Chain A
Amino acid sequence: MRARVFVTLKPSVFDPQGRTIAEALHSLGYANVDDVRQGKYFELDLQTEEASAARKIAAEVADKVLANPVIESYKIEVD
């Protein structure tokens, strides 16, 4: 199975890069873009064929390595 992990700064943490991108979009005329949060995206190719097992492994490696729990949160999709 493949797990996709999306890591972003927590909502409570200021994201200066996201803010700068939002300002760039505003300068292009996209006044309808309220905010941008920049993050990281990982694809994990896993040996398991079970979605629940895949989700469990992905959460473990996200907790241990892919995300820093002090500043980041993540979400997982599997298929």
Chain B
Amino acid sequence: MKFGVVVFPGSNCDEDAFHAAKDVFGQDAEYLWHKDTALKGADVVILPGGFAHGDYLRTGAMARFSPIMGAVRGFAERGGPVLGICNGFQILLEAGLLPGAMLRNRGLKYRCEHVHLRVEQTDTPFTAAAVAGQVLRIPIGHGEGNYFAPADMLEAIERNRQVLLRYTDPHGKVDEAWNPNGSVNAVAGVCNEARNVVGMMPHPERACEALLGGVDGRAVFESVITTFRLADLRRAQVPA
């Protein structure tokens, strides 16, 4: 399958995502410059981490005006899988493609460390290869990852099972002491109502090779690759 990795001015995890898709998983991958208006045949779009447009005004706030975002929005509305990692998650929130908003970390510090994530839902293209309740150890690196949604919105996304990942202790238990940024309900990743657009603060692309300290991020890439292969198989089995 073909990965499209969007590059905004200020993106700095684009090469990591490209490397994971191309070199670790052997998939096609292509960079999509933020001024492009087409996705060049990408089957999945990744909005990578970094500081798009310098994070001016608010994190992710300016990126939603980049020309590529029109194509990303159309792709998402047609059901295409879109993954926002860290700053990419912030961009999807600002673009209104995911519910909620990000606040400055509770402790005001930039947190750069490994965290433990419990997989809550597996019926999305980016969690399908994981097991519900599984604990993933994946790094974070952010100053504004304190996920917030007003009470009624939070109630709705919990009811719709849109929370995909939560910060937990190493055994998968939610514990405020293991919540690195103060996110409400320990939310580390969410999806949209249609479940094809996913945002997560931790960096799975940095956790795909043992050399880098862990391979738990592979679950995210394996999920979308497997989902794509299954869809391909099903299409092939439909009688002409």
Contacts and interface: CB of A to CB of B under 8 A. Distances in A.
Q: Do A and B belong to a common assembly?
A: yes
A17 to B, nearest CB: 6
A65 B53 CA distance: 14
Contact of A20 (B93, B101, B108, B153): B108
Interface residue tally on A, bucketed by range: 10 to 19
A14 interface: yes
Contact of B58 (A12, A14, A68): A68
Contacts of B107: 16
A17 B57 contact: no
B150 A12 contact: yes
Contacts of B157: none
A70 interface: yes
A55 to B, nearest CB: 21
A60 B106 CA distance: 31
Residue of B100, B105, B150, B182 ringed by the most chain A CB atoms within 10 A: B150
A41 B91 CA distance: 22
A70 B106 contact: no
A65 B96 CA distance: 12
Nearest to B149: A70
B148 interface: yes
B106 A16 contact: yes
Contacts of A16: 103-108, 182
Interface string B88-112: 0000011000001101111110000
Contacts, number: 35
Given A12-B150, A13-B103, A13-B148, A68 B94 contact: yes
A40 B148 CA distance: 19
A71 B103 contact: yes
Contacts of A58: none
Contacts of A40: 57
Interface string B50-65: 0000000110010000
A51 B101 CA distance: 32
Contacts of A14: 103, 106, 182
A70 B101 contact: yes
Given A13-B103, A16-B106, A20-B108, A70 B58 contact: no
B61 A70 contact: no
A66 interface: yes
A70 B153 CA distance: 9
A68 B103 contact: no
